Chains A and B, each alone.
Chain A
Amino acid sequence: MVAAQPEAASTATRTAYEPVIGLEVHVQLKTRSKMFCGCERDYFEAEPNSHVCSVCLGMPGMLPVINEQAVAFTILAGLALGCDIPAHSKFDRKNYPYPDLVKGYQISQYDQPLCLGGTLEIEADGVTRSVQIERIHLEEDTARLLHREGANGDSYSLIDVNRSGVPLMELVTRPDMHSAAEAMAFLRTLRQVLRYVGVSDADMEKGSFRCDANVSLRPVGTTTLGNKVEVKNMNSFRAVGRALEFEIERQARVLSEGGRVAQETRGYIDATGATVSQRSKEEAHDYRYFPEPDLPPLETSRVTVEELRGHLPELPAAKRERFVAQYGLTPDEARQLVETRAGAEAFEQTVALAGPAHARDVAHWLIGDVTRLLGTLGEPDAELTDSKLTPAHIAELVGLVGQRAITAATAKEVLQAAFESGEMPAAIVDARGLRQINDDAEIDRVAAEVIDANPQAVADYRGGKEAAVKFLVGQVMRAMRGRADPNGAAEALLRRLQS
């Protein structure tokens, strides 16, 4: 993930500084209704201003009512990240005027968030490290502004209030990351955990997972934090990587030329891959926070916390370790299988059907051919459940191979057919006559024919080129349309060649 660096500092300059990165992540929660009213939360592809009511439109006299599911989701996310859940929390008003903020203030949480502390283990460039989480709080999303240009060239803006009042969880990390790669690893890992817990789609492209970064540099070996720059407007993982790389380069250059990094907010411009100054520290808002008088304080009992903890699924890191221990997988196989909760579930359901002895075979099929086939569905995150395949298909296929009823080569063909039609593998094998030929006499007869037809290869083998056998095996397989047991074919050939 290296962005174009129009003003790159020299490598030597750059390595003289250590980047310090903290993230603020906004996550839309997957609740049924909005944060403070009964409107449907999911506005994806909905007609603009169709999911609105007098409350989320900010009409006079309207009052918020707390969405308990959003509170529970935030606490669940906090528990998954090892946060403390204080008994007392409250909402506050954050005041600032903007046309997308219908009330002129946002209901947020200032000094008593729902979750405090926490950690997330990340792996970047082969190194595992732990990122501390400062806090997680709950707030409401704003409306969306759509900027347009009229026929006469005048610019104007439209407001879509559908997003106004959607529950938004804000997670703030400590400045614990030191490269763009680490920041991205954090975001990917966080997204994975949130999806596991089921509290958010956490989709950057759809805007349900948004990130701002605080970036500063300091001379390697020092601990004082430098002036930080807040980088905004990064709308994809790629954008985060490019923006951070750019910003690190930019600050390194300023510092190496003896300059001072201005404390400011900068926006990332996707078209150029650069960040540009938006507002200085002096222009920063005074949000005039004060406790939200329309809502009582939030009290969270230990009982509630423990009850919610009981609803937490097994998280990716724990699942990965268990897969290694329980199924004898390599750490890398386990990592790939637990990428999504649905994927991990598909694996375990398949193993349950195929038998634990076949766990690794199941893993190979899922990681390999099945993943490749799912990729052809055209959806970025397609799961087994999005296809016609089921754990029963995979288990039956693994069983057929294990019983030497079909060859590995045939199995790929069968899987493709099952993927396309949804038919069970055994039925496909029978219908197409694909059963493996384990008849030694038949294989021996074909081996003899192949030896006769390929004198050059035979000569090569006899001249010491062991690899020539592979070619001959291939010829046997080809003659038998892939249905021969490749080991049997090799044995038959060797028997004849060595005699």
Chain B
Amino acid sequence: MPINLDVTAHEHARHLRAGEYTARALAEATMDRLEAQEPHLNAYVRLTREDALTQAAAADARLASGDAAPLTGIPIAIKDLLSTKGVPTTASSQMLEHFVPIVDCTVVARLREAGSVFVGKANLDEFAMGSSTEHSAFGPTRNPWDLERVPGGSSGGSAATVAARGVPLATGTDTGGSIRQPASLTGILGLKPTYGRVSRFGVIAFASSLEQVGPFARDAEDIANFLAAIAGHDPCDSTTSPLPVPDYTEGLGRGLEGLRVGVPDALFAEGLEDGVREAVEAAIEVFAANGASVTRGIELPTATAALPVYYLIAPSEASANLARYDGVKYGHSNHDGPTATLEMARTRDEGFGDEVKRRIMIGTYALSAGYYDAYYLKAQKVRTLIRREFAAAFERYDVVLTPTAPGVAFRLGEKTADPLAMYLNDLFTIPANIAGIPAMSIPCGFAQGLPVGLQLMARPFAEGTLIRAADAYGALTDWHLQAPSALEGVS
């Protein structure tokens, strides 16, 4: 049987189990396509064909023995922020260009156990700081819908390669929208789990109290299987929850009947592109027309403060998390002397890009004596208020619906000169990180021929609700089935 690379992971899994093609054949076909696409997309820092073929051979043995998991033999892209034992993990930074981890991160270890096949390390904004993947030391990733546009970020490489039908699944990380915004800009699904649902062990840290690893996929069932494979308590990450991982496929096929949807209109009243507004309004109609009870104008007044709160907490944590890159132990290192202090300073000046330096400086300032109370501490207090505000909303609604991003994919270079304009891209996604709640972006239409995403947020650990809603919406619409055409004819 010829291999159709455009299908979802669960379709591949069905064919693999049926013996219609082997994991090795799938891996080879996948690597061929990725290698052909790469000159156009730059979705990867590194493709790992040899490792993929080795893993695929092991997956075939497992498939033959009949104990295959849903992800066995499935090609997956790993964001290059996730430590992979023996394979360079760069965070798309000059600082870690040659850094080779000595351990797998827990998510990668679990995916290995599930028998999946790693095709390569996906490009990102340096240390996950950015919303366009332009802040990568290894060049920007391009959007397969329009190669002159960005795929969003920071998990832009992961989103672009899934959207381009290079792989069915990819891992992302989401600190302020880094999964959902690129999912929105590339027309695929992306889920940020509840804080503590997925282990952060071995994920190169940016803002520890905000970030989670999550899946990119092209339908809700794949999101469910992927999340189930990586979620759950990890003794190596004390911030993971001991709650058992539910069966996320349980909500599949259950429709929208009775789903209580709250729409905080005031939250996205300003700065929204018309095309995005139209697509999201149409999506809300679909929800309302198919059994969901939609309430407009719900109040989340403090959530508007999430952006400034984020830009105090995230840089503060980053300023400490990135302090270890001093050239002493690993990574880029300056040896020009004459003093250790100067060498450390030059190491960091040469190794970090501008956006990373900007955030380290903001964070260092916010934590300084005399400013801590006014900035960091106040931000934490507002954070508590935002969390309570969402908790109150979720007593009345199962999901809160917003656009994922204020606009569609923008042109390369359009916002790099204006950090604030770039930051505003995460206006709607950041509240979920501040509140620690799960949130998902789902394709909901097109504007100017470019994908638009809607965001659903739910109460802590209610990922199942998001998957159910995404599945039901996907059954009613075909936005997620639209494939980009910019790479037609490539492989």
- Interface residues in chain A, defined as those with a beta carbon under 8 Å from any beta carbon in chain B: 54, 57-66, 93, 95, 97, 99, 102-105, 157, 159, 286, 288-290, 293-296
Asked whether B83 lies within 8 Å of A290 as measured between CB atoms, the reply is no
- Chain A residues whose CB sits within 8 angstroms of the CB of B54 once the complex forms: none
Given the known inter-chain contacts A288-B367, A290-B376, please indicate yes or no for A61 contacting B316, CB distance below 8 A: no
Known: A60-B324, A62-B202. A293 touches B317 (CB 8 A): yes
Task: Please indicate the chain A residues that have their CB under 8 angstroms from the CB of B238 in the complex.
Answer: 63-66, 294-296
Query: Can you give 28 A-B contacts (C-beta < 8 A)?
Result: A54-B103, A60-B83, A60-B89, A60-B101, A60-B205, A63-B200, A63-B201, A63-B236, A63-B237, A63-B238, A64-B238, A65-B235, A95-B323, A99-B326, A99-B328, A99-B344, A102-B324, A103-B320, A103-B324, A104-B322, A104-B323, A286-B369, A289-B367, A290-B316, A290-B317, A290-B367, A290-B372, A293-B208
Among A58, A62, A105, A296, residue most surrounded by chain B Cβ atoms (within 10 Å): A62
Known: A60-B96, A66-B238, A95-B320. A288 touches B364 (CB 8 A): yes
Q: How large is the interface on B (under 10, 10 to 19, 20 to 34, 35 or more residues)?
A: 35 or more
Main secondary structure of the interface of A (DSSP, over half): loop
From B203, B340, B341, contact of A61 by CB (8 A): B203
Q: B45 — which chain A residues lie within 8 A by C-beta?
A: none
B129 at the interface (CB under 8 A from A): no
Nearest CB on B from A489, distance (A)? 76
**Minimum CB distance partner of B331 in chain A:** A60
Q: Does B329 contact A (CB under 8 A)?
A: yes
- Decide if B235 touches A290 in the complex (CB within 8 Å): no
**Is B437 part of the binding interface, using a Cβ–Cβ cutoff of 8 Å?**
no
* Nearest A-chain residue to B99, judged by Cβ: A60
Contact: B105 with A61, CB < 8 Å? yes
Other than the known A62-B202, A64-B238, A103-B323, what 8 A-B pairs have Cβ atoms closer than 8 Å? A60-B99, A60-B101, A61-B201, A286-B368, A286-B369, A288-B369, A288-B372, A294-B239
Chain B residues with CB under 8 Å of A102's CB are 324, 328-329
Q: Collect the chain A residues with CB atoms within 8 Å of residue B179's CB.
A: none
CB contacts (< 8 Å) of B204 on chain A: these are 60-61
Q: Provided the pairs A99-B326, A104-B326, A288-B368 are in contact, do residues A296 and B239 lie with their beta carbons within 8 angstroms?
A: yes
Given known A60-B96, A102-B329, A104-B326, contact A95–B317 (CB-CB < 8 A): no
Closest partner residue, chain A, to B235 (CB atom): A65
A347 to B370, CA, bound (A): 58
Contact between B83 and A159 (Cβ–Cβ < 8 Å)? no
Say whether, besides A62-B201, A64-B238, A97 and B344 are in contact (CB < 8 Å): yes
Inside 8 A of B208's CB, which chain A residues have their CB? 293-294
Tell me the minimal C-beta distance from B242 to chain A in angstroms: 11
Number of A-B residue pairs, CB cutoff 8 Å, is 102
Contacts of B103 in A (CB 8 A): 54, 59
Residues of B within 8 A of A289 (CB): 367, 372
Partner of A105, one of B239, B320, B372: B320
B122 at the interface (CB under 8 A from A): no
Docked complex Cα distance between A295 and B317 (Å)? 13
B128 to chain A, nearest CB (A): 12
User: B318: shortest Cβ distance to chain A, in Å?
Assistant: 11
In the complex, whether B91 has a CB less than 8 A from a CB of chain A is yes
Whether, in the assembled complex, B476 has its beta carbon less than 8 Å from a beta carbon of chain A, the answer is no
Q: Chain A residues near B200: list those with CB within 8 A.
A: 61, 63
Taking the closest CB of chain B, its distance from the CB of A50, in whole angstroms, is 15
Distance from B89 Cβ to chain A, minimum over Cβ atoms (Å) = 7
Query: What residues on A are CB-neighbors of B116 within 8 Å?
Result: none
Residue of B nearest to A286 (CB): B369
Q: How far is the CB of B438 from chain A (nearest CB, A)?
A: 19
Answer whether residue B209 sits at the interface, using C-beta atoms and an 8 A cutoff: yes
Q: Is the interface of B mostly helix, strand, loop or mixed?
A: loop
Q: When chains A and B are docked, how far (Å) is the Cα of A450 from the Cα of B280?
A: 123
Residues of the A chain whose Cβ atoms lie less than 8 Å from the Cβ of B202: 61-62
Tell me the smallest distance from the CB of B192 to a CB of chain A, in Å: 17
Cα A105 to Cα B322 with chains together (Å):
10
CB-defined contacts of A294 to chain B, threshold 8 Å: 208, 237-239
B328 touches A65 (CB 8 A): no
Distance in Å: Cβ of A233 to nearest Cβ of chain B: 19
Q: Which of A65, A95, A99 is the one whose CB lies under 8 Å from B236?
A: A65
Shortest distance from the beta carbon of B362 to any chain A beta carbon, whole Å = 13
Min CB gap A103→B, angstroms = 5
| Chain A residues closer than 8 Å to B330, beta-carbon distance | 59
Does residue B7 face the partner (Cβ distance < 8 Å to A)? Answer: no
A39 → B minimal CB distance (Å): 14
B319 at the interface (CB under 8 A from A): yes
Task: Report the nearest B residue to A36, measured CB to CB.
Answer: B238
Whole-angstrom CA separation of A158 from B264 in the bound complex: 58
Q: How far is the CA of A57 from the CA of B99 in the complex (A)?
A: 14
- In the bound assembly, the distance between CA atoms of A99 and B329 in angstroms comes to 9
CA distance A61 to B319 in the complex (A): 14
Contact B239 A93 (CB under 8 A): no
Shortest distance in angstroms between A5's beta carbon and chain B's nearest beta carbon? 36
- Would you call A61 and B205 a contact (CB within 8 A)? yes
Residue of B with least CB distance to A65: B238
B257 → chain A closest CB, angstroms = 38
Q: Most chain-A Cβ atoms within 10 A of its Cβ — which of B83, B324, B372?
A: B324
> For residue A63, which residues in chain B have a CB less than 8 angstroms away from its CB?
200-201, 236-239
Closest to B369 in A: A286
Residues on the A chain within 8 Å of B326, using CB: 97, 99, 104
CA distance A66 to B239 in the complex (A): 11
7 closest residue pairs by CB, A with B? A104-B323, A293-B209, A288-B367, A293-B208, A60-B204, A61-B202, A61-B204
Closest chain B residue, CB of each to CB of A95: B320
B102 at the interface (CB under 8 A from A): yes
Q: Are A159 and B324 in contact (CB under 8 A)?
A: no
Query: Hey, which chain A residues are within 8 Å of B317, CB to CB?
Result: 290, 293
Are A93 and B320 in touch, CB under 8 angstroms? yes
Interface string of B140-178 (1 = CB under 8 A from A): 000000000000000000000000000000000000000
Residues of chain A contacted by B235 (CB below 8 angstroms): 65
User: From residue 236 to 276 of chain B, which have CB atoms closer than 8 A to chain A?
Assistant: 236-239
A157–B330 Cα distance when bound, in Å, is 16
B residues near A60, Cβ cutoff 8 Å:
83, 89, 91, 96, 99, 101, 204-205, 324
Cα–Cα, bound, A65→B341 (Å):
30
Per-residue CB contact flags for chain B residues 304-325 toward chain A (1 = under 8 Å, else 0) read 0000000000001101101110
- A64 neighbours in B (Cβ, 8 Å): 238
| Cα of A294 to Cα of B368 in the assembled complex, Å | 20
Contact (A99, B340) CB under 8 Å given A57-B329, A293-B209: yes
Contact of B320 among A104, A159, A286 (CB under 8 A): A104
Chain A residues contacting B81 (CB-CB under 8 Å) are 61
Give every chain B residue within 8 A of A61 (Cβ-Cβ).
Answer: 81-83, 101, 105, 200-205
Cα of A65 to Cα of B236 in the assembled complex, Å: 6
Indicate which residue in A57, A95, A103, A104 contacts B367 across the interface (CB closer than 8 Å): A95
Query: Which residues of the other chain, A, contact B316 by a CB distance below 8 angstroms?
Result: 290
In the docked arrangement, what's the CA distance between A57 and B208, Å? 18
Bitwise interface map of B from 97 to 114 toward A, beta carbon under 8 Å scored 1, else 0:
001011101000000000
Nearest CB in chain A to that of B95: its residue: A60
A159 (CB) vs chain B CBs: closest residue? B328
Q: Which residues of B contact A295 (CB under 8 A)?
A: 238-239
The answer for the CA separation of A66 and B236 in the assembled complex, in Å, is: 10
Name which residue of chain B comes closest to A157, CB basis.
Answer: B340
What string of 1s and 0s marks CB contacts (under 8 Å) between B117-140 and chain A? 000000000000000000000000
